[in-house]
Amino acid sequence: MRNGAAILLVTLAGCAPVQDGPPAAADAAASYAAAVLHPTTGSSVWGTVTFAATDSGVLIRADVSGLAPGAHGFHVHEWGDCSAPDATSAGGHFNPEASPHGAPDGAERHVGDLGNLVADASGTARYERTDRRIALGGANSIIGRAVMVHAAEDDLASQPTGSAGARLACGVIGIVRGAE
């Protein structure tokens, strides 16, 4: 895990986080993006998340450790800024369509709503699903935004956060490969 994170860190060095306005790469869709999740203050949650463009959507894979066993809210947040000790600098859920919070497969959801990671007894969570709402270019682009893991389960209904609680790990999403 640590070696993988180091490799991703080298790959992502030089990606400037998006602070405001549309991502700089919004017009040129990427084919592959990734984030390294870093623990917030008091947390020991680390991980990596990758996003691959496919014909049926964006394939998301996450590998996260240091969690309490059980479900943990997992979202893309609006701003690529994990600098605050509690990661509140990343803003709320990425919601370009002004929709209510919801389930990843629900009719109404924030674009950034990815449901939950589920950690096993050792505190490790693996997540793999293809999402049709997030994108690596255009209005729903997640490039330069933040991916977040929470302390509590996202109930997929409470507004506007799913009652997912504190932010345990945050990573800025950067382009690994451009469109091919």
Is 38 tagged catalytic? no
**Considering beta carbons, is residue 29 or 166 the nearer one to Cu ion?**
166
> Could you say whether residue 113 binds Zn ion (CB under 5 A)?
yes
How far is residue 7's CA from residue 11's CA, in Å, rounded to a whole number?
A: 6
Assign 178 to helix, strand or coil: strand
- Give the CA dihedral 112, 118, 123, 129, nearest 10 degrees: -60
Cβ 119 to Zn ion, closest distance in Å?
20
**Considering beta carbons, is residue 31 or 96 the nearer one to Cu ion?**
96
Indicate the residue whose CB is closest to Cu ion. Answer: 75
Where in 39-78 is the site for Cu ion (CB under 5 A)?
A: 75
> Could you say whether residue 150 binds Zn ion (CB under 5 A)?
no
Identify the residue among 33, 143, 148, 173 touching Cu ion (CB under 5 A): 148
Helix (H) or strand (E) holding 4: helix 2-12
Is 167 tagged catalytic? yes
Is 110 tagged catalytic? yes
CA 11 to chain centre: 17
Contact 102, 156 (CB under 8 A): yes
113 touches which of Zn ion, Cu ion, none (CB within 5 to 8 A by kind)?
A: Zn ion
Show the tokens assigned to 108.
């109404």
> Could you say whether residue 145 binds Zn ion (CB under 5 A)?
no
